[in-house]
Amino acid sequence: MTTGERMKQRRKELGFSAEKVAERLGVSPATIYRYERGDIEKVPGDSLGELAKILQTTPAYLMGWEEKPAAPAPRPIPPGFEPMPEMANLPVVGKIACGTPILAQQNIETYYQSPKEWRASMFLVCQGDSMEPFIKDGDMVAIREQQDAETDEIVAVMELDGCDGFATLKKLKKRPDRVELWPLNPEYEPIIYLKEEMNKLQIIGLAVGVIRRIHE
């Protein structure tokens, strides 16, 4: 492939017209077409460097010394902004069929993206206002699947006895003789499980993030 053919191919890949490239290079469109056809075999060095920038590649690629165009340099991030995190696709779990694994196919309603750094396993959709003001009704809470947690962590738990199919989100308090599940909303009372009742509880995982969905 000639230099001109590489120029044309790269221009087409980027969706640029010859007129656009010519304007940015400061030449006529006819000159660009002559480069691409090979009528002008040698592109001046200063023009070649500028042309490579416009086509988001390197002079070495245009000259045929490299096989692939270089990836464009990342654009600078404006002050006060952060780059988009790497994302993972997670299942959104709805009502849980009793006796099934939490991520059984029949429990999954859809999928939604979560930042990979959360290391989450799934989303649970919060129902009710017991975790207001921090977690609101309809919020999707990212859960990292694990079977234990520390005091004062927010966990997703289910009752094994009389399972109603729904996990609950609460702040965990471990006492020597009981487990307490505390709502964040002070209008609600904690749920207390005494020693003989503690085996009824199954910790599904730890809450590691919240995605708020805007409802019209």
List the chain domain ranges: 3-63, 87-211
Average pLDDT of the chain, as a whole number: 83
- Cβ neighbours, 10 Å, residue 54: 18
Please give the pLDDT value at position 185: 92
Please give the pLDDT value at position 143: 93
- Rounded CA gap, 12 and 162, in Å? 64
Tell me which residues are annotated as active site.
130, 170
- Rounded CA gap, 53 and 34, in Å? 19
- Cβ neighbours, 10 Å, residue 3: 21
Q: For residue 58, give the 3-state DSSP assignment.
A: coil
pTM for the model stands at 0.59
Please give the pLDDT value at position 216: 44
The pLDDT tens digits for 147-192 are: 889 999 999 988 776 555 567 889 999 998 899 999 999 999 998 9
Please give the pLDDT value at position 154: 93
Query: What CATH number is given for 3-63 in this structure?
Result: 1.10.260.40
Average pLDDT over residues 38-61: 85
Fold of 87-211: Umud Fragment, subunit A (2.10.109)
